[in-house]
Amino acid sequence: MKKRRLLQSGKLVSEIGLGCMSFGGFYGATTEAESHATLSAARDFGIDLLDTANVYGLGISEAVIGSFLKGDSSSFTIATKAGIWRDKEHGNRGFNNKPDYLRSELEGSLSRMGIDHVDLFYVHRRDRDLEIEEVMETLLALKAEGKIGGIGFSEIAPASLRRAAAVGPVDVVQSEYSLWSRQPDLGMLQTCRELGVTLVAYSPLARGMVSSVLPDPATFLDKDFRKNNPRFLEPNFGFNLPYAKAFQAYASDHGTTATALALSWCLARGEHIIPIPGTRSPEHLAECVSGSEVTLTPEMMREIEGILPAGWAHGDRYSEAQWNGPEGYC
């Protein structure tokens, strides 16, 4: 597995990481044994970046990682997040970036994973009641104490990144980025490149729509994130399906899979991009790894653009409720 720089310190990680949201049941039920098998496969494949958060399954994802690590995190670079609070009983969600809250949530994450520091700590969503400069001061204090190795923000705008970077080094911005969610092309990729910030791309397989096995909304369980997502509801899903099938056919014609091709496209968009596909299956993870082995020519990039042009997806990427949190900038 080839490496890319993650942190401003020069720390390198595998150019494809593992998103661990599915360990918390966001795309259906799973077991600790299945998650452990996937983590074991990641280690064998040379994937050494694990991305989780305190709210993934309300701590389940971190606890599963902790039971796998057994106190030894030497094989992995671990990133987690805080800043979102959830009310398990009523399903409410809000944002809190205050120093005491971020510190206490970080301590909870470290306890669940059985480690004393985390390599990368994100503010998961911005608390609009606090200026981002204040939040940076909190993160820099945690870094000075050795609790975190690097600083990240998830789903912020380029303008917010510039403000944060003026206070201290921001290592990573995490944004949804794939062949059907390309907002980062309109400023974030460029700003990250200018400031030396890594862009970690989550949902690089478009929540399954640019992968080898296309999702069937009829099978989505109630807890599946896609259940009420506009792009998976009719008539949008019916409009999106032919595009996805055409992409699958193109991948097959070039001796690869849609999963591998989608990840190689993401990697080809910039040397500062690290995609983190999520999976609960070692077999699917093996297919993701193969994306690191595909080399796209300029002609192939143009042909893919013809099959899946920017803006091809029908429906918004989030429902009104799901849009609560990400910063808009276009």
**DSSP 8-state secondary structure symbol assigned to residue 329:** -
For residues 38 and 280, the answer to whether their CB atoms sit within 8 Å is yes
Q: What is the dihedral of CA 265, 19, 106, 145, to 10 degrees?
A: -50
Q: H-type helices in 32-157, by residue range?
A: 32-45, 60-69, 99-113, 132-144
Q: Please give the Cα distance from 45 to 57 (Å, whole number).
A: 26
Beta-ladder partners of 120: 79
Closest to 271 (Cα-Cα) out of 329, 187, 201, 204: 201
Beta-ladder partners of 121: 80, 151
Q: Quick one: tokens of 205?
A: 């397989």
Q: Of these residues, 27, 56, 177, 318, which one is catalytic?
A: 56
Kindly state the helix (H) or strand (E) to which residue 51 belongs, with its residue range: strand 49-51
Residue 56 is among the residues annotated as catalytic for this protein: yes
Active site residues: 56
